[in-house]
Chain A
Amino acid sequence: MALNKKTRRAYSVWALMRARLAGSGYWRPLWSGRKLKDAYDVVVVGAGGHGLATAFHLARDHGLERVAVLEKRLVGYGNVGRNTTIVRSNYLLPENHCFYEDSLRRYETLSKDLNYNVMYSPRGVVDLALSDDDFPALARRGNAMLLAGIDVELMDIAALERFCPQLEPRRRRRFPILGALVQRRGGTVRHDAVAWGYARAATAHGVDIIEDCEVTGVRTNGGGATGVETNRGYVRAERIVFATAGHTGMIGTMLGVPLPIETHLLQAMVTEPVKPLLHTVLVYVSPGHGEVYISQSDRGGLVMGGHLDGFPSYTREGRWDRLEDVAQGAVELLPQIGAIKVLRQWAGTNDMTMDGSPIIDRLRYDNVFVNAGWCYGGFKTIPASGAACATLVATGSAPDLIKPYRLSRFATGHLLDERGGGPFPVRQ
């Protein structure tokens, strides 16, 4: 890829050595320092993972030279930096697993594509079966994936014991572990690095990333949008993309389009670092808000999350009893971690749709687009979403991969309800 020398130096071990010899002043800012212009081909609202990836692909793949990302607060301050860093493509519905698989494949090479180490760690994602009834459901999902050419395996208790001995699957538990659906290429990716890597790469391709720039309205001329109102004044735009995650519902309200979205909080927490203890990602879903997923970061902290807080919120202050739910599940799953201490908790604001799947489509106007509805699964789709959304915006037609994510599916009945939870986001 063409490097913009002013904004970017290639990263490598040799560059690190050169930088050391050069002392200070070798490295350049990754994205900061761009000035807001008064007109763009495309204005992307929101410098989270999806917005940044969309802008990057607009500039790199479609050659658009005037692209801006306008961000209310900071690059990567929202959900891209607040998730539990899990990537996987083990979805049931073909529309979903094909899309998530496209994303996982892009994650596999993302560090090299962006020249930024996003620390993709294919340590496996283990969905545990806790009753005989869980097996058909896991098998249905796994078989669907295998038909689509996505690797996954069903482990019995002996295989699981070999794969994750720390789990001690034969230990007596309230809900005994009977096996698991395991996707070995699933794993974790360093979340902040994804935001920063895309921001740096987009900047190198000429994208203006403007922080502290809040979009407050859309100006239209009847037939279409002409630009956005911001706290820094009016910015003309040929096309506008909203990639605002938990604030998408408000964007819909702003544009007069009621969306099939409720906004919910999802918490996560991390413990103090300890030496390697868990080498995979465990997903444990037991009845009664018993959901917990847990992995160990490369720094050594156990990162875990659970069920949604369960009611709409923009506060980012999670409810305490949900932390207790997660801790209970974690200790039930791995009793040996009982004495490990939780250091901090945080929360993300999730745009939960009425079928649990995303929306990438036009919104009200022919030149306004929305990339949203990521529920709690947005992080793992960033590379695919960015590429596909950019194609939609640049060419005007949606690639096959995201056609199922059209907004009209709720009205036509082409729902993508992975869990069968129905139009109640708290049950998705």
Chain B
Amino acid sequence: MSGDVRHGTRVGSGSIRFSYDGREYSGQPGDTAASALLAQGVRFFGRSVKYRRLRGVLAAGPEEPNALLTVGERPAVIPNVSAPQLAIRDGLALRSQNRWPTLQRDLASLLQAGGGFFGAGFYYKTFMWPSWRSYESIIRRLAGLGEAPGACETPPIAVEHLSCDVLVAGAGAAGLAAARAASRAGARVVLCEREPACGGELEFEGGRIEGQDALPWAAATLAELAARGARLLTETAVVGGSEGQIVLHAEPGGLPGASTLYRVRPRSFVIAMGAVERPIAFVDNDRPGVMLLGAAERYFARYGVSVGRDLVLFANHDRVYAAAARLAAGGMRVRAIVDTRSDMVGAAGVAASLRVELERRGTACLAGHAVVAAEGARELRAVRVAPLAGAGTVRRIVCDALLQSGGWSPCVQAGLQEGGAREYSPGLGAFLAQAQPQWRILCGAANGHLELGAVLADGEAAGEQAARHAGHSTDLPTAAAGRDEWRGGNRGDGAPRLAAFWRSPAPLKAEKRQFVDLQNDVTVADLRAALAEGFVDIEHVKRYTTLGIGTEQGATSSVLGAAILAELKGEGLDKVGTFRSRAPYRPVALKALAGLRVGPAYRTARRTSLDGWHAANGAVLESSGLWMRPRYYRSNGDDAFTAGIAEASRVRASGGIADGSTLGKIEIAGPDASGFLDSMYLTRAGTVKVGRSKYMVNLREDGMVLDDGLVLRLAPDRFLATTSSGHAAHMLSHFEHYRDTEWNGRAVTLTDVTEAWAVIAAAGPQSRAALERVLGPDWRGSLKSLGHMDFADGRFEGRDLRVLRASFSGELAYELHCRPGIAVTLWRALIAAGLAPYGLEALDILRVEKGYLVSSEINGETTPQDLNMDGLLKLGNPCLGRELLDRPAFHEPSRPRLVGVRARDGRTKFQAGAQLTTEDESRHAAGHVTSAVYSPALGEWVGLALLARRLGEEARIVARDPLRGGDTPLRVVPPVHFDPAGERMKS
């Protein structure tokens, strides 16, 4: 075969060289790995995962269960690529799977001898002694299909958002008719097709439509669609979505890589995704050489590949005769047609006349017969054929390809969400999707139509209905053009007159070689065993036997399995049903599913207006929620510990500045603003004077402390509330919710101004002097008069600046709220005035020394009493969350209380996250260390802790930290470690 140039609808001339299992092969442009290898006589494409049986190609599309290849070189291999979809290109390196050391000689195939031993569910019955773990690694290595990639070097994927009136999935006859009808009605149409070429079965079945041959008709229809502005996406499959958004995935060449994810927002969705041909179960039906009939036709029409010289066709419907005629015309020898129906003899119509012609040319046409077994030790050599009724003789027919067709399963998956229901149609021997919502329409083979005229008419009607639902009129003259014309056109593929037939008779002992699911080696014997053990529901059978859970998503096995189960149970297939199919409808690479939000774009970082300065000046930035914040500056030390101490010490000695821009800032304005804040916070805002601020705390609905911050009164009816970093969005929602519910109708506006103001904290004894120097004479007076918790508004460099005297370090300190545009200027000026930058590490040291709270203490589990806010509670302001603080548990002696802790020896390190127990107790914790730092001001480790109230300052407690070291005896001290009187801050 090699050497000849093949002709087909998809292959061009030229030569492409690639390798398979280390051997060089060639193919033509347009070939797939399957077509090129089949053309060169390759029969073996891998081994099955469980019994390691040699396998060939079954199908010509994504339903292929066997021929999965590993592509590329280590480490960036891509496993489990379906050979019928993989476009070859120069230099492509392919390998077969599930074999060691080689495909021909596989050590693990010795397991085949175990046959019945390794049936369904055998894992559950053994490997218990001494433990599953002792077998697991061997079993894991035997399982698992393709090689695990060690790297992924595929290019970044593209994501496109499309909107249209009508999305048509599938560009076969029905899809083309639907798209054209919708387009003619004026609808904006997107048409997607999973194959690289359109036409579907028209590609090999031919026929005449509207006075044209099928393929020219398809080309003309595509041209008309293009002229009308419809968008065509090839190699693009529907993978998921529901009303309002359908997700498509384009995977050019059949390899994860340069793929595109489309999010389409159509008004209507037409599902014209065709139907998948089904195999029939018989003994050794997995032998290489056993294929689907439609696959053989596709390989011949598309790529000019003859899948065998001597064929036997095995089917349960009329269409096999036209197929046989086409294959015979292609030069293949059709030895026999085995038709399971007995009533086909003497049938009138096209099929009957074709049959006469085939018989005349030497094809044995056996009605009421079935292929009962394949012969051949490694690949197909012959089939055994037996009559289905009576005691006829079993004949042996030599062949190198058996082409089977057991009917078609409509591709209805995309029509089963949001109200779609599956219903069995006995005439088709298949399940159809019913109860569709208005926006979704199935048509053509996906809707159970198999005869070309009906397919086209159904497609057109679907297209019109979709256009109408999208708001377009279908009474226009263009819309109606062409209707009725295709009723006349026909070919040999009329109604198939299918009679459901699922498996050939076989002795009980041979049922373990009647394969139902080729990928998972599920046999009829497995189904029988499952039933015997009480797994009678299809969902149970699926889970117990692994039926239909392979990479082909049960395309060829799920209905077959259900039907055989029905036979074994003696029930109707309608009663047995089939298992639920789930998105994605086609396997999608994780990277494609992830879209663009990967790598640096994964949870995009938020950066302050000083970020550029930090990066350029040796700051070590770290994530704080989504924000990036300086942890320390390298100029102050090699690591966070050293630098943090240096920076914190400098703040207390002279002064420093920190970037506080991430501080949440919410403006609350309106006549009711003051009352609103009173109801949100534990203390009243109404008592705050304009130009002053107040430390305030608010509660969650259940009474736990939610957040704390300063509230500034900007004007009688205008406040600014600060929130913890990263908490602003949540606090804003919290405020807005309360405003729109309990406070509905009151005049309060809420605005998140977090990013409208950059914040620089200037702290330390020299901060005032530095500010005076930087801000100039205009500010001198107000800076002097600014008391603790006062603020003043003014200008700097012509832009707004607010100076708030407030401290998170216990030092004389100011928060400078400025417009982001002048933040860097102000920052540089402050440095020039002698204030050096400090980061989060120093910030943490300074605040722990002073006993200020962060999320380690306000952790969603602490009440105001737990955090020593009894004083605030006593003021009696009835705010949100107060009522539920009365619950008894919150007043028990075991409830925690915020305390300070230090090592009893004044030296030893202890860390946040240590559990606290009393000295004589080692199991039951009485609290934990929430924060701990080395205090340069005090020369020892200091911490904050939540400790059971029953333990007072006299308690001898121990920090238990077995995870990181050991135990540290602690003493309990007041939470404010440094300058408890607060003199420095008020100086």
Contact = CB atoms under 8 A, between A and B. Distances in A.
Q: Do chains A and B touch in the complex (CB under 8 A)?
A: yes
Chain A CB within 10 A, most for which of B141, B544, B587, B589: B589
Nearest to B703: A413
B403 to A, nearest CB: 28
B966 to A, nearest CB: 11
Interface string A78-103: 00010000000000001000000000
Contact of B132 (A94, A111, A142, A197): A111
A25 B529 CA distance: 9
B584 A121 contact: no
Given A274-B144, A332-B598, A337 B626 contact: no
Interface stretch (A29-37, A233-241, A244-252, A305-313): A29-37
Interface in B110-158: 116-117, 122-129, 131-133, 136-137, 139-141, 143-152, 154
Nearest to A332: B602
B913 A324 contact: no
A339 B540 contact: no
Contact of A343 (B256, B587, B591, B928): B587
A338 B154 contact: yes
A337 B123 contact: no
Nearest to B535: A30
Given A136-B913, A139-B912, A287-B625, A119 B123 contact: yes
Given A143-B963, A420-B704, A275 B144 contact: yes
Given A139-B961, A300-B140, A273 B145 contact: yes
A154 interface: yes
B147 A274 contact: yes
B963 A142 contact: yes
Contacts of B553: 343-344
Contacts of A274: 79-80, 144-149
A138 B922 CA distance: 20
B485 interface: no
Nearest to A131: B623
Contact of A339 (B49, B149, B913, B931): B149
B889 interface: yes
Contacts of B123: 117, 119
Interface stretch (A11-19, A222-230, A380-388): A11-19
Contact of B144 (A12, A276, A343, A411): A276
Given A30-B533, A147-B960, A317 B417 contact: yes
A412 B889 contact: yes
A17 B126 CA distance: 11
A391 interface: no
B575 interface: no
Nearest to A116: B124
Contacts of A338: 152, 154, 256, 589-591, 594
A259 interface: no
B861 A344 contact: no
Contacts of B587: 272, 341-343
Given A75-B540, A272-B79, A298 B626 contact: no
Contact of B508 (A24, A81, A116, A196): A24
Given A174-B600, A339-B152, A344 B583 contact: yes
Nearest to B591: A338
Given A27-B533, A31-B534, A422-B701, A17 B117 contact: yes
Contacts of A149: 923
Majority DSSP secondary structure for residues of B touching A: loop
Contacts of A146: 960, 962-963
A146 B129 CA distance: 29
A41 interface: no
Contacts of A421: 860
Given A111-B132, A323-B593, A137 B913 contact: yes
A146 B625 CA distance: 29
Contacts, number: 336
A193 interface: yes
Interface in B412-435: 417-418
B176 to A, nearest CB: 28
Interface string A167-189: 00000011100000000000000
Contact of A337 (B132, B257, B590): B590
A24 B528 contact: yes
A336 interface: yes
Contacts of A420: 704, 859-861
B146 A147 contact: no
Contacts of A335: 151-152
Contacts of A211: 537
Contact of A324 (B144, B595, B600, B701): B595
B539 A139 contact: no
Interface in A113-138: 115-122, 130-133, 135-138
A300 B144 contact: yes
A422 B704 CA distance: 8
A265 interface: no
Contacts of B487: none
A23 B510 CA distance: 12
Nearest to B601: A174
Contact of B124 (A75, A117, A277): A117
A290 B626 CA distance: 11
Contacts of B242: 317, 320
A407 B915 CA distance: 28
A62 interface: no
A207 interface: no
A15 B124 CA distance: 12
Interface residues of A, number: 109
Given A74-B537, A193-B124, A413-B890, A298 B963 contact: no
A299 interface: yes
Contacts of B122: 16
A367 interface: no
A117 B963 contact: no
Contacts of B75: 336
Given A148-B923, A337-B152, A339-B78, A413 B888 contact: yes
Contacts of B889: 409, 412-415
B743 to A, nearest CB: 20
Chain A CB within 10 A, most for which of B131, B256, B888, B922: B131
Contacts of A415: 702, 861, 889
A288 interface: yes
Contacts of B550: 343
Chain B CB within 10 A, most for which of A174, A415, A423: A174
Given A120-B133, A298-B143, A339 B888 contact: no
A331 interface: yes
B925 to A, nearest CB: 6
Contacts of B80: 272-274, 341
Contacts of A324: 593-595, 597
Contacts of B161: none
B388 interface: no
B69 to A, nearest CB: 13
Contact of B536 (A32, A117, A196, A323): A32
A118 B128 CA distance: 9
A32 B534 contact: yes
Interface string B874-893: 00000000001001111000
Chain B CB within 10 A, most for which of A28, A31, A119, A275: A275
Contacts of A300: 140, 143-145
Contacts of B131: 111, 120
Contacts of B963: 139, 142-143, 146, 152-154
A343 B551 contact: yes
Contacts of B128: 11-12, 111-112, 115, 117
9 contacts: A16-B122, A25-B532, A29-B533, A272-B146, A276-B144, A300-B144, A336-B75, A341-B589, A413-B888
Given A111-B131, A144-B928, A273-B143, 7 more contacts: A24-B508, A130-B623, A132-B640, A139-B963, A272-B587, A317-B242, A341-B588
Q: Which 3 A-B pairs have the closest CB atoms?
A: A420-B860, A139-B913, A29-B534
